[in-house]
Amino acid sequence: MQIIERALISVSDKTGVVELARALADAGVAILSTGGTAKLLADNGIPVTEVSDHTGFPEMLDGRVKTLHPKIHGGLLARRDLPAHMAALAEHGIDRIDLLVVNLYPFSATVARPDCSFEDAIENIDIGGPTMLRAAAKNFGGVATVVDPADYDEIAAAVRGPGGIDAGRRLALAKKVFAHTAAYDAAITNYLTARDDEGDGGTRILPDVYTQQWHKAQEMRYGENPHQAAAFYRDAQPAPGTLAHYRQLQGKELSYNNIADADAAWECVKSFDSPACVIVKHANPCGVAIASSCGEAYAKAFSTDPTSAFGGIIAFNRPLDAETAAEVARQFVEVLIAPGFADGARAVFAAKQNVRLLEIPLAPGGNIFDFKRVGGGLLVQTLDARNLAPDELKVVTEIAPTEAQLADLLFAWRVAKFVKSNAIVFCGNGQTLGVGAGQMSRIDSARIASIKASNAALSLAGSAVASDAFFPFRDGLDVVVDAGAGCVIQPGGSVRDAEVIAAANERGVAMVFTGVRHFRH
């Protein structure tokens, strides 16, 4: 156990620091502090000694040098179990510092501001704070180091008690500190290496050195297969509206595949403005629909492919009501996702405790980057978050789509973005009718989509078709028109666009180009 006799407190985020300092002072702990923190504590009647008075050396260089002094770092780094270290402290009149409470200049928050200048960013790179944190955390055998206000209550309780802070807790705090300083340095590196040092001094989207940190949220029994170890890691601050914000209301522990498929379903369903339902199997939507209610959307989505929906992941972008829950409960479902669950819906699934219910706040936003690990490296790209408006479409055929067809084309296009390439999606009246995914040939995807529709007894007559990339030849267009398509949406951009357009005119269907591709590998 380490009894706390002297603490140094210097924080940028003042949350809870007065209460902590008061608890320390009440326990007889001598408090050192700097600048604004010292003033805040003094204004609240808490005895505090300025670091400059403690060291006998004034702050200088506009506050850049204040804690970089042997009386600070000697007090933090001296090992209490080494007599030579203790003798050195005594020889030089250095007091031990048993507790360090520091959080850093808000670099990430500063550079996130649209009006942040390069000079502002540089001035918000903390030097003294990380130096003290690393020194104290290295010496966790004799020093407790606190970087997170969430730990203040526990520290206050420990100093009030007779035992102080035990070794296990000091080590846990040190681990937290090194993770924090690593993330802090990573943010600085990402910012600086994304800066263009030539020309106008602007910034690039992707930095030259990219560093990211994730926090383990869950150990898993295994990965995609039983012989693979796995865990789920969260961003330190997950983007609003993302899967990492889930709250599991009931059900078995989520598996690796559950989380991967749940993410695919959630990202797809939250892209719609109308009440929507998305059913995912093996990372691909097998049924998607929009309607005036969750219940109607579910019925339409399920009818697309009832066979594949068995044991799937189902997501809604509206709170789930009891009536819809009762319909869903008639099928075998692995995971059910919604922004909320009515009491009646919870009651329906109370009898099916293996069903995993995930509640995720529906919020705009998403990840900045998309990652794919490859041998010896990492592919990084910005997220495919592009949604098209009707006025962005280019009609390329003699026949223009009707208003109803246009709505279905845009719906089909949005679904296709979440289907593995090559993707062909037949839709009608706000629901998928047939989905062809992940084939090496676009024609095969088209054929599979039509087979799926036939198996579900769904007519493709007059349907809208989305292709995630251009038709390289007219044969792909002929396949979807033979199946019943009345209009087509595709990116365009093939050297044979004229041939494909001529085929569409010959077959009497409307076709629009997006100028945007949605490959998803």
The DSSP symbol for 317 reads S
Scored b (16 or more CB within 10 A) or e, 31-47 reads bbbbeebbebbeeeebe
Active-site position among 85, 176, 245, 282: 282
Task: Report how far apart, in Å, the C-alpha atoms of 185 and of each of 191, 207, 273, 313, 318 are.
Answer: 10, 14, 39, 38, 40
Structure token pair of residue 18: 């007065």
- Which amino acid belongs to residue 509? V
| Angle formed at CA 138 by CA 217 and CA 156, multiple of 5 degrees | 70
Phi and psi at residue 243, in whole multiples of 5°? -60, -35
Cα–chain center distance at 26: 42
CB 30 within 8 A of CB 49: yes
Query: Which tokens go with 416?
Result: 């296709």
Query: Strand locations in 299-430, DSSP E?
Result: 312-316, 333-338, 356-359, 369-374, 377-382, 394-395, 424-428
The residue annotated as part of the active site, out of 138, 176, 245, 352, is 138
307 and 262 Cβ atoms separated by less than 8 Å:
no
Tokens representing residue 99 in the block: 């507790």
| 71 is known as an active-site residue | no
Contact 133, 177 (CB under 8 A): yes
138 is catalytic: yes
DSSP class of residue 402 equals P
User: Please, are residues 181 and 188 in contact by the beta-carbon 8 Å criterion?
Assistant: no
8 Å CB contact between 419 and 411: no
Look up residue 232 and give its two tokens: 């789920």
Please list, in sequence order, all residues whose beta carbon lies within 8 angstroms of the beta carbon of residue 124, skipping any fewer than 6 positions away: 105, 106, 107, 110, 111
Q: How far apart are CA 346 and CA 342, in angstroms?
A: 6
Q: Which amino acid is at 448?
A: I
**Beta carbons within 10 angstroms of residue 184's beta carbon:** 22
Active-site residue list? 138, 282
